[in-house]
Structure 1
Amino acid sequence: MKVRRSLKIFIVCTIMGMATITVLGFSTLTANYFEKGLDSGLRINMQEIGRFTSVESEKNILGFQVVRQWEDVTLEIRQVFAKPTKHLDFNKRVYRDHWYSEPNRAMFLLRYERSDNEVLYISRIIDELEVADLSARLNKDKLPHLCQILIYAAIALTLFAVCMYFVGQLVANPIERLAKWAKTLTPCQLNRPMPDFQYNELNRLAMIVKNSLSSVEETLHREHKFLAHASHELRTPIAVVRSNTELMAKLVDKPNSIEKQKEVLERILRAGVTMTDLCDTLLWLNRGRHKELQLTQVNLGELIKQLCQDLNYLIKDKDVNVEVSLSGGVIELPATMSRIVLSNLIRNAYQHTLRGRVVIEQSGSQVTIMNRDESCGDTQNQLGFGLGLELTNRIVSHYQWDFTIEEFADGRDVRINFSTK
């Protein structure tokens, strides 16, 4: 099984590794500066000795050997260093166990030339005993030099680790809050104010998560609306197909019914085309692409006549009198949209009239649909009215058609003018 890496552990280990390298580097630099400080001190002392000391043959001053001839320099020095040839030419050799340990033995050599062409060779050998004595005097009641470096490095790393812990908590806590918030985020919480996660980057990430979920929720809502509208609108053409299919089955066995069969077949084909147009239109409508629908020449009178015929199954076995007054006329409209609107309005009038009359009037671009129900039943809450009216309002609002509804105790009057404002 693949082991998943923790971002928190990865960052902590990386930064601690960098801190360790930094501390070791500065510790090495400290040891180097310590040695250079000793070199500088010895070189200054040797220069002062060469400047102010008069030497006839060989002389020892403060532990330094001062001679005028190279052959008089200690043999051990001559074996280690070549004869210096320039003024203030400084040579050294340090022997130690490792870089951080104190020197066990050191050799120093300086050539000093005076103004009177007198040359002095100043040298010194610090052996192990002298080093130990010097270290004891310099570090009296103190830890050895290596131990001090290690202790300082350990303290620095400890302080760095403590700081890293608190910094990690300051960064990790908001990230964990963000993860918990994103995990428990529900559609109901999308409209609530977003929590503050302290850092701009985390707030931007939370905004991206929220916007992504909002987009998904909006898509699901549109798809839900599409399914609801599709199931609502397809009921009529499906009912037409079923009823005419049953009629076709009866007409097949009857002689001399060819013309009637052709008429029934045309209604079935027309219902199939209507279903296809409805699906395409509802997809455009729910995806915000209904502006792409083209305008066609629509005969409102023929369209209303056809819809009334298709929706007659809703008033079958009802005591409902339908009065239709059509003046005809061709208007440039989005065909399927106008069909959806008129189908919903006529369907609602048929559904909400159990006993009474329905009046449909068309004059030019204006259509009036009135229904009066003489029964005592409550027809306002029947299935389909709210959904159909919602879809109608969306289409009417988009195309800016003049649309009014006047409510009465026993019915309603609906007027729509398909001419744009």
Structure 2
Amino acid sequence: MKIRRSLKIFIVCAIMGMATITVVGFSTLTANYFEKGLDGGVRMTMQEIGRFSPANSDKEEYTLGFQIVHQWQEVTPEIRQVFAQPTKHLEFYKKIYRDHWYSEPNGALFLLRYERSNNEVLYISRIVDDIEAADLSSRLNQDDLPHLCQILGYATIALAMFAVCMYFVMQLVAQPIERLAKWAKTLTPCQLNHPLPDFHYNELNRLATIVKNSLSSVEDSLRREHKFLAHASHELRTPIAVVRSNTELMTKLVDKPNSIEKQKEVLERILRAGVTMTDLCETLLWLNRGHHNQLPLSQLHLGELLKQLSQELNYLIRDKDVQVEITVEGGVFELPTTLCRIVLSNLIRNAYQHTLRGTVVITQLGAEVSIKNRDTSCGDTQEQLGFGLGLELTHRIIRHYSWDCTIEEYPDGRDVRINFTS
């Protein structure tokens, strides 16, 4: 089983590791500066001794614990065994004895060559042995902890303070992230229209915006798919009905002699319905892509299309007392054929469906088509029958092509006028 890493634990461990390295590094630097400070103090003391010691004295002298001699052979043998004879003015040597880097020195050796203006050479040296170092350490740290314990104590305190600060910082960062995760987990399509919560940090707010936009995009895609299915089922009803009715008619004509011409007409209607279904599917897919390009135009006989659609939709008024009047002027226009078919079939279907008893008048004058229906029945067809999908699709197509369309509502019907060239 693969163990998933926790981002929070990883950040905590990484920061604590860097903090530990930093504390250890500064502790080492502190110990190094302590030693350099000691070197500097001893060296300055030895220079002052060389400057103010009596001149031209061949005797061995001791000042502040430092040996002062004029000849290298007179230097303490312990010093000569460790260091080579210095040859330059203010050449300084040292040797520190200790158990480890952070421990206090157990002993030390110091040597300095000092040359005066009269060419007099002085060798100033000092040996700090175990007893002297222990006595010095005890006098300096009478009431203090050992040097190593002090370093470890300061390092521990620094790490503890850093860990406490990091805990509060992690809480300030982790809580908004947990809120963001909870918000994203419980986000529903209904909440996409609500304002985004404030997660206190610009990065988290941008991430929330990305999540919301992604879900909105997915929701739009699903909504377009639902609309496509609804529109497809709505628009394909007519060609499917034409195929079924003509198939039944063809079944009856097969057994009848001398019906070849009639069978050809039925087959043409079935083929035409198949082509219509193909064009409808392609057009609906085009409409549901979210961004539309213009469909190719073709020569369209507008009057013939109205007659054809009226005949195909005739099954809707077959058992009704409805009179249909069609007046066409004819003419050929460059229009998107499938879209015009969708618009006109929806308008004619709507008129047929909303008329239980009365008249439907379809008129074509040039590129202008008007469809009027008057219902003389007592039923309230506007409440009983609804064709929102067809009208919604019709309005989308009309708006996309900026066709001039006017709709006038009456108590007993509706007048629709559409101009395909405006």
Amino acid at match of 1:70: W
**Deviations along 1:358-384, whole A, 9 cap, x unmatched?**
111111111121112222222224555
Deviation at 1:355, TM superposition (A): 1.7
Q: Which residue of 2 aligns with 1:43?
A: 43
For 1:137-286, what aligned pairs fall within 5 Å after superposition? 137-286=139-288
User: Does the Cα contact within 8 Å between 1:281 and 1:290 map onto a contact in 2?
Assistant: no
Amino acid at match of 1:340: I
Distance 1:311 1:53 in 2: 129
SS at match of 1:291: coil
SS at match of 2:319: coil
Deviation at 1:61, TM superposition (A): 1.5
Distance 2:151 2:260 in 1: 111
SS at match of 1:30: helix
Amino acid at match of 1:14: A
SS at match of 1:158: helix
Distance 2:380 2:69 in 1: 130
Q: Which residue of 2 aligns with 1:67?
A: 69
Distance 1:199 1:93 in 2: 57
Distance 1:226 1:378 in 2: 30
Distance 2:33 2:189 in 1: 65
Distance 1:289 1:64 in 2: 95
Match for 1:362 among 355, 361, 364? 364
Q: Which residue of 1 aligns with 2:30?
A: 30
Q: Gaps (5+ residues) in structure 1?
A: none
Distance 1:119 1:26 in 2: 40
Q: Which residue of 2 aligns with 1:327?
A: 329
Distance 1:290 1:261 in 2: 40
Deviation at 1:334, TM superposition (A): 1.0
**Deviations along 1:157-176, whole A, 9 cap, x unmatched?**
11111111111111111111
Distance 1:125 1:376 in 2: 127
Amino acid at match of 1:123: S
Distance 2:392 2:292 in 1: 16
SS at match of 1:146: helix
User: Does the Cα contact within 8 Å between 2:354 and 2:385 map onto a contact in 1?
Assistant: no
Q: Which residue of 2 aligns with 1:388?
A: 390
Q: How many percent identity over aligned positions?
A: 79
Q: Which residue of 2 aligns with 1:292?
A: 294
Distance 1:400 1:382 in 2: 31
Q: Which residue of 1 aligns with 2:5?
A: 5
Amino acid at match of 2:20: T
User: Does the Cα contact within 8 Å between 2:327 and 2:364 map onto a contact in 1?
Assistant: yes
Deviation at 1:307, TM superposition (A): 0.3
149-158 or 399-408, which deviates more: 399-408
Distance 1:377 1:11 in 2: 73
Distance 2:50 2:325 in 1: 133
Distance 1:291 1:64 in 2: 99
Distance 1:344 1:137 in 2: 107
Distance 1:332 1:91 in 2: 105
Match for 1:317 among 299, 319, 342? 319
Distance 2:255 2:44 in 1: 130
Distance 1:115 1:289 in 2: 97
Q: Gaps (5+ residues) in structure 2?
A: none
Amino acid at match of 1:133: D
User: Does the Cα contact within 8 Å between 2:372 and 2:413 map onto a contact in 1?
Assistant: yes
Deviation at 1:57, TM superposition (A): 2.0
Deviation at 1:56, TM superposition (A): 2.1
Distance 1:58 1:370 in 2: 135
Amino acid at match of 2:400: H
Deviation at 1:290, TM superposition (A): 3.9
Distance 1:239 1:289 in 2: 31
Deviation at 1:289, TM superposition (A): 4.4
Distance 1:405 1:115 in 2: 119
SS at match of 2:217: helix
Distance 2:100 2:325 in 1: 113
Amino acid at match of 1:112: Y
**Deviations along 1:8-37, whole A, 9 cap, x unmatched?**
111111111101101100000000111111
Change (3 A) 1:289 1:250: farther
Query: RMSD across aligned C-alpha pairs, in angstroms?
Result: 1.2
State the TM-score, normalizing by the size of structure 1.
0.97
